[in-house]
Amino acid sequence: MQYAHFEQILVQHTLLTPESVALKSPLVALTYAQLQHEIAHLRQDWSLAHHDQAIAVAIDNHPAWVVLDIAALGCEIPSVPIPFFFTDTQILHAAMDAGVGTLFTDQPERFSQIFADFIVRKTTLSVAGKRLMQFDLKITEKPLPKGTVKITYTSGTTGNPKGVCLSAESMLNVANSVVQATQINSTANHLCVLPL
């Protein structure tokens, strides 16, 4: 899997600069060593839980979002980013369409209402210093194209949101193209102004 190459680069960067800041938000900063620790912790928990359904991530921009995303990628669990600008109906449609089994959010009140009929269990957890609610959902698993690691949904302005299944290889190819086009290097900072 193409993820192995990404993981090797991340591990190598961590070994070279463990105390360098990898992710930073107004309230928290994670070094590469801390990022690796957070990812490894989640991956261990998920491997014990035998996740076989997609997860949904509904979190405001924060290092926790990135940790969840990389951990899911490493466990080959498809993830579904849920935009907050989606209506409740669009959110429910995306989760049902992707066959989401678990949802992570920092807005439990909203998502408790949306998924009231589907919640099997609620658990609180801390990821990268952010308190999250994990909802285990009773939603039927959907077959996905082989190699799908992320399902991103359109805004659905002319109907229900439509999912696009992405592979690790396609995402890494885009990332490599951006690196080549911008001539960015490992010491550069990236400001994320759009929702993750």
Sheet holding 79-81, edge to edge: 119-127, 130-137, 100-105, 54-58, 79-81, 148-153, 163-167
Q: What is the pLDDT of residues 123-148, one digit of tens each?
A: 999 999 999 999 999 999 999 999 99
Residue entry with tokens 């980013």: 81
Q: By the 8 A CB rule, do 91 and 116 touch?
A: no
Which three-class secondary structure string do you get for 102-147?
EEEECCHHHHHHHCCCCEEEEEEEEECCEEEEEEEECCCCCCCCCC
Pairing mode of beta strands 29-31, 21-24:
antiparallel
Q: Which pLDDT does position 51 carry in this prediction? A: 67
Residues with Cβ within 8 Å of residue 55, at least 6 apart in sequence: 68, 72, 77, 78, 79, 80, 100, 101, 102, 103, 104
Residue entry with tokens 């490599």: 176
Ramachandran sector of residue 174 (left: φ over 0; alpha: ψ -120 to 50; beta: rest): alpha
Per-residue pLDDT averaged across 27-36, rounded?
94
Q: Which pLDDT does position 45 carry in this prediction? A: 78
Q: What is the pLDDT of residues 155-179, one digit of tens each?
A: 767 778 999 999 988 888 888 898 8
Report the alpha-carbon distance of residue 49 to residue 44 in Å, rounded.
Answer: 9
Query: What letters, b where the CB count within 10 A reaches 16 and e where it falls short, cover 78-109?
Result: bbbbbbeebeeebbbbbbebbbbbbbbbbebe
Global pTM value: 0.90
